[in-house]
Structure 1
Amino acid sequence: MIRYQLALLAHSQRYLPPLLAYVILLSVLYSDAGSEARPLFGVSAGALTVVACWLTIALVDAEDPVQRLITQVHAGRLSTVLSGIVAAVVVCCAALMVVPLVWAALVHSGFSTDVLVDGLIAHVACVAAGVAIGLPCSRLLLPRIGYTVLAALALLGVVLLAKWVPVVNPMLRALLNHGARSTVVLGLAGGVVLLAVSAAGTGWAIRRRG
């Protein structure tokens, strides 16, 4: 199922817009060797939240409802399809999160292992949050692209900008302002929980609607 979802995304070429936008952002962020790496990790991790959400929606919407039903029949269970979608996007984003970490290590030489670990944790947490937002905003639950865009923008705005949501915003603020690692780890826990709740809730909503 994971191989099928990756092949579907590659064939659709819907990954190109977020990939190009992300690479352009990284080329601007990590071009100055005099900048500190930790705040830059916060910016690139926040951007990866949007990319992960975009890839999730693009992957789901690459199949029309009839084709998706056929895929579910072959998979045997809806949970298998959802797991394949999540895993495929995570694989893609895992490759993307390596880029800023390696880029920073090459350009910003001398930063500590703790900074690198914080950056890795933040990127993983943001990937989880982005996929969690993308699942319910995709065609799985919202049949029209207009609703998808509005819902995705609203939820991304909440997790990225709202200080009271203990997922992305507090973690990114900790990276930007040299806060404690505990805040970064809390962001990872929040992202994982949000992804689990989103996948379970999306599956429940699909079964109830069906």
Structure 2
Amino acid sequence: MIRYQLALLAHSQRWLPPLLAYVIMLGVLYSDPGSEARPLFGVSAGALTVVACWLAIALIDAEDPTQRLITRVHAGGLSTVITGIVAAIGLCCAVLMVVPLLWAALVHTGFTAAVLVDGVLAHSACAAAGVAIGLPCSRLVLPRIGYTVLTALAALGVVLLTRWVPVVNPMLRALLGTGSRSAVVLGLLGGVALLALSAAGTGWWVRRRG
């Protein structure tokens, strides 16, 4: 199922716009070798939230309802399909996460193991949050692209910009400022919890509607 989802995403070519935007952003962001890596990780991790959400929606919406039903039957259940989607996007985000981490390690000064750990945790948390937003904003729940765009933008705005939502914003603020690593760890736990809740809720909605 993971191989199928990756092949479906690659064939659809819907990964190209977010990938180009992400690479261009990294080129601008990490162009100064004298800047500290930890605050830069906060920006690139936040961008990965948007990319992960985009990829999740693009992958799910690449199938029409009839094809999705066939996939569900062959997979043996909706849970397998959703797990395959989450795992496929997770692999894509893991590859995208390596780029800023490796770039900072090779170019930027003052790069330590602790900074690397913070970068891995932050990007992983943001990727999980992005996929969590993308699942219910996709055609699995919202049948029209207009509703998808508006809902995804609103959800991303809440997660990225609102302090009282304990998932992404407090963690990114800690990376951009002088926050402790506990905020980063809590951000990862929040992202994983949000992803699990989103996957379960999306599956429940699809079964109820079907």
Alignment-derived partner of residue 187 in structure 1: 187
Q: Could you tell me whether the CA contact under 8 Å between 1:134 and 1:152 is conserved in 2?
A: yes
Q: 1:42-121 to 2 correspondence within 5 Å? A: 42-121=42-121
Question: Is 2:178 the counterpart of 1:178?
Answer: yes
Structure 2, unaligned runs of 5 or more: none
Alignment-derived partner of residue 209 in structure 1: 209
- For 2:38, the aligned partner's letter is R
- For 2:117, the aligned partner's letter is V
Alignment-derived partner of residue 13 in structure 2: 13
Q: Could you tell me whether the CA contact under 8 Å between 2:72 and 2:78 is conserved in 1?
A: yes
- Measured in 2, the distance between the counterparts of 1:80 and 1:202 equals 13
Alignment-derived partner of residue 150 in structure 2: 150
Identity between Structure 1 and Structure 2 (%)? 82
- Measured in 2, the distance between the counterparts of 1:68 and 1:165 equals 33
How far off its partner does 1:111 sit?
1.5
Question: Could you list the per-position Cα deviations for residues 62-120 of structure 1 after superposition, in whole angstroms to 9, with x for gaps in the alignment?
Answer: 00000000000101110000000000000001000000000001110332111111011
- Measured in 2, the distance between the counterparts of 1:207 and 1:72 equals 11
- Measured in 1, the distance between the counterparts of 2:178 and 2:57 equals 33
Alignment-derived partner of residue 33 in structure 2: 33
Q: Could you tell me whether the CA contact under 8 Å between 2:34 and 2:109 is conserved in 1?
A: no
How far off its partner does 1:199 sit?
0.1
Q: Which runs of 4+ in 1 moved over 2 A?
A: none
- For 1:194, the aligned partner's letter is L
Please give the secondary structure, in 1, of the residue aligned with 2:33: coil
Alignment TM-score, normalising by the size of structure 2: 0.99
- Measured in 2, the distance between the counterparts of 1:152 and 1:88 equals 20
- Measured in 1, the distance between the counterparts of 2:52 and 2:123 equals 10
Please give the secondary structure, in 1, of the residue aligned with 2:34: coil
Structure 1, unaligned runs of 5 or more: none
- For 1:106, the aligned partner's letter is L
Instruction: Give the total of aligned pairs.
Output: 210
Alignment TM-score, normalising by the size of structure 1: 0.99
Q: Could you tell me whether the CA contact under 8 Å between 1:50 and 1:130 is conserved in 2?
A: yes
- Measured in 1, the distance between the counterparts of 2:178 and 2:184 equals 11
Worse-matched range after superposition: 153-162 or 107-116: 107-116
Question: Could you list the per-position Cα deviations for residues 1-49 of structure 1 after superposition, in whole angstroms to 9, with x for gaps in the alignment?
Answer: 0000000000000000000000000000100011110000000000000
Q: Could you tell me whether the CA contact under 8 Å between 1:38 and 1:178 is conserved in 2?
A: no
- For 2:167, the aligned partner's letter is V
